[in-house]
Chains A and B, each alone.
Chain A
Amino acid sequence: MIFHVNHKTYEVDLVGHETLLEVLRDKLGLTGTKTSCMESECGACTVMIGGKGILSCITLAANVAGEPITTIEGLADGENLHPVQQAFLDYGAAQCGFCIPGMIMASTALLTQNPHPTREEMEYALDGNICRCTGYLKIFEALREAGDKMSQLKAPRESALYQYIPAVSSTP
């Protein structure tokens, strides 16, 4: 099956029951996406499909084949960090960092739709992402900053230009 991940196209053989998380981490080697529970409670596996955050640990990979998937590895523009990544770095919003890929993807999904969320909107949007280190406050600060930056950015980022990558081995 064909997967469009981070503006690249991959052909992956599936048994059928693989989750998107398994495809990303085990078949494509994109280990930036984490999981802490494997049962949709922690949010560490959040990735974006077409600008919306989804939990890759409970998403059947076959169901999202062909859709534009963005993971933490695909957020930066070359060496330039995405405003959300930059703000997380600048505001000390990451400590151990294990929840951060999911947290950044959920934050980006929120800010893409609503660049100036209220504190309450941030709390609701991120309530599915558990962070044990930070107490969330620095994450809220980072979101405020990133939202401002994102709404200032005039030129939208280059849309998906898929480059074909030959089949990735997928022996079960």
Chain B
Amino acid sequence: MVQTINKDLVNPVGKSVPKIDGKGIVTGQIKYVFDVSLPNMLVGKMLRSPHAHARILSIDTSKAEKLSGVKAIVTAKDTHLIKFGSNEYFFPHTVDQLPLEDEKVRYIGDEIGAVAAVDEETAEEALKLIDIKYEVLPAVFDMEEAMKPGAPAIHEAMNNIAVILPVNFGNVDRAFKESDYIREDIFRTQPAAHCSMEPHVCVGQWETFSNKVTLWSSSQAPFKCREALAKCLKMDLNDVRVIKLAVGGGFGSKLEMMPMDFAACVLSHKSGGLPVKITYTREEEFSFSRRKHPMIYKIKSGIKKDGTIMAITGEVIADGGAYCSYGPTVIAAAIMRIFMVYKIKNFRISGYRVYTNNPISGAIRGFGGVQSGFAIESHIDMLAKGIGMDPMEFRLRNATDPNMVTINKMYLTSNGLKECITKAAAAADWKNKYSKMRNQCRGIGIAVAADVMGSKMYKSHESAGSIVKVEEDGSVYLFTGAADTGQGANTALSQIAAQELGVSYSRIRCKSGDTEITPFDTGSFASRVTFISGNATKRAATDAKKQILNVVAEEYKLNPEDLDIIAERVIHKKDSSVLLNFDKALDLCYSFNYGRQIIGRGSYNPKTTPVDFRTAEGNVSGSYGFEAQIAEVEVDKETGHVRIIKMWDAHDIGKAINPQGVIGQIEGSIAMGIGYSLYEDLKFKNGRVVNANFANYRLPKAIGMPEIETILIETIDPEGPFGAKGMGEASLLPTSAAIANAIEDAVGIRVKELPMTPDKILKALKEKEQTTPQTATESQQ
């Protein structure tokens, strides 16, 4: 019998139960890969290019090998020279990075080799002793320069354009002719960093007798990591084991196998099977992990006098840096998200994902949606203003509806977007505030967003699997391949398992993200875990419950279909009368007569269709989440400082499995969004990050965090587990535009470049004064 069954925690779905690993966190007992220490463990360090673009002529490691304490050195010659990438299925030509480069380096920090030594000092000393001869090549750092004929060729792609994505629907030329108001804007967004508090860290250990390898990695997607690792190591999937422990945040940066993961394994092999740990410093984290794609977003739209959007055209250019990483999908998402939000019939935007000699741009929370959200939602506000319409009403007029098919064949089923807009507006007192606070330099701005839950952009399937094992003593083990990175996946999935099985949440233990033990799962990205892994978990719990009820029915000579387990009791469905309690049912299953192990299994693959990247058509996700966000700001005209007074966020999450966890995700997203909007900016000089530390890369801190009011809209999705949808990324998408729109409402300036720093605000204020010295709106009030 399980020692303590907390009766308060039966029917846990919809309750703010504590995190399943929460006690471990608050006592410091939970283990991250950062904390892993194994006997005789070596310290690994990556050997990196000091040049942004150069040909490798020779590598001489002989001096370093002789240094006392050095146990292994690897370079490309120790590898199979197999490239990896993130979107082999749809864009095979974007598989462009070698774990260790052999002929050419393409950014400052490009990995050439690695060293394992007895301690960090020795490893660093050894790196200095490796003699590499380069032929330095001309480099290009500006995305528009890189696209020009004659620019240095970084890969073989013509004009350095790795991916062109032309998205074209309807007849935009005719629609522009029918428009009453047309405007065109250009927006620019900055490179930014993920800043997960646990840096990238891994420990690789080779079993020399069996030629198997285990990698402990701070990963958001252990199975993706295993896939790339096995490919590059030329091994079977089952000979590579990737284990994640507690993960100290990822935000997209830990979605891929990194060269360090590969290097740790090969170093361990070369050092005779000693474990090798590689930990990024904060400087490496900022300079050489992944960064947010800087984008130039050109957008032109035509609308009717009544506010109907007629046509949208434009061009998106993304600085991808040296390799493709998740670039193809990021550019696709930056263009296609708008179809979930607005009813659009005529559309033509082309996306260009461009190579430069900057560090690699990759996946980051929001996946292109933060950049496009800023551009589109700022532009929408200006369109509304152009015809004198309230921007909130303008959005309501064009918002998508439930049960509709978008022009690119996305199936929007449950859709609370309009409710999000009206509820957020009501909570923020929009009608009484919009355009009415300018005399105090205060303003209010709205922006909306939608997000997927899972993304049919990678593989032939994106299924998740779960196992629910009920032990003799009534304790329940949930095995999921999903990767909790701190967002609370293990907690939400455990709640789903407990609810479906009909037991208290306190019975559940959760084991996640070990490729040798847990079922397959593509990982934590695209806000997919609650929806996809949640459905798999629910199915596994249903299966386990059926197995228990079959035994009970057999014993009592009843029909199992007539029974159910609810709140720790086996009941008759027809009148809810109690037959026996859960523990007694378990005693029966594991009794002398029956001896039946209860092992439920579940697999779920969402009902999607792959995106056809030639037409941008496809139902990329099994359901879609929606939200509206409002910012109230005050602008100091003397200093250019923007103070955020309050934010409101109304979010259609289908059903909140854990309301506290949901609100935590929203608050965290908004904090991150405020950082990206106002100050976070990864600065470069000739391809080198110049502010690679927390002192010079400013993050949102405790001082000045505004109040956030969240409104959860439960639309009960027909496909989601208990009606739940994914969330966690959507709240980041509208924040920049909501703030930009509020700034315009406050002081009448439009900032089209992120971050909206005081100098940009002051410059815009000055420009405005020069153009309209007497007629500024606020002076009239």
Contacts and interface: CB of A to CB of B under 8 A. Distances in A.
B292 to A, nearest CB: 14
Given A39-B693, A89-B18, A96-B196, A129 B26 contact: no
A121 B32 CA distance: 31
B190 interface: no
A135 B668 contact: yes
A66 interface: no
A39 B19 contact: no
A76 B703 CA distance: 28
Nearest to B282: A37
A92 B713 CA distance: 20
B664 A92 contact: yes
B703 A34 contact: no
B486 A96 contact: yes
B25 A41 contact: no
Given A36-B199, A94-B25, A135 B703 contact: no
Nearest to B27: A76
A25 B37 CA distance: 10
A95 interface: yes
B459 interface: no
B708 interface: yes
Interface of A: 25, 30-34, 36-39, 41-42, 44, 71-73, 75-76, 81, 85-86, 88-92, 94-101, 104, 122-127, 129-140
Quick one: which of A96, A123, A140 has the most chain B CB within 10 A? A96
A32 B671 CA distance: 26
Nearest to B197: A98
7 contacts: A32-B27, A34-B34, A44-B197, A91-B660, A95-B668, A97-B25, A100-B25
Interface SS of B by simple majority? loop
B510 interface: no
Contacts of A76: 27
Quick one: which of A31, A44, A99, A122 has the most chain B CB within 10 A? A31
Given A98-B198, A138-B664, 5 more contacts: A34-B197, A36-B197, A95-B486, A98-B196, A98-B248
B23 interface: yes
Contacts of B703: 123-124, 127
A42 B705 CA distance: 17
Nearest to B696: A41
A137 B708 contact: yes
Interface in B279-302: 281-282
B28 A94 contact: no
Given A97-B246, A135-B667, A92 B26 contact: no
Interface in B672-716: 672, 693-695, 699-705, 707-708
A127 B699 CA distance: 11
Contacts of A122: 702
B198 A126 contact: no
A134 B664 contact: yes
B36 to A, nearest CB: 9
Contacts of B663: 92, 138
A110 to B, nearest CB: 11
A85 B27 contact: yes
A91 B671 CA distance: 18
Contacts of B664: 92, 95, 133-134, 138
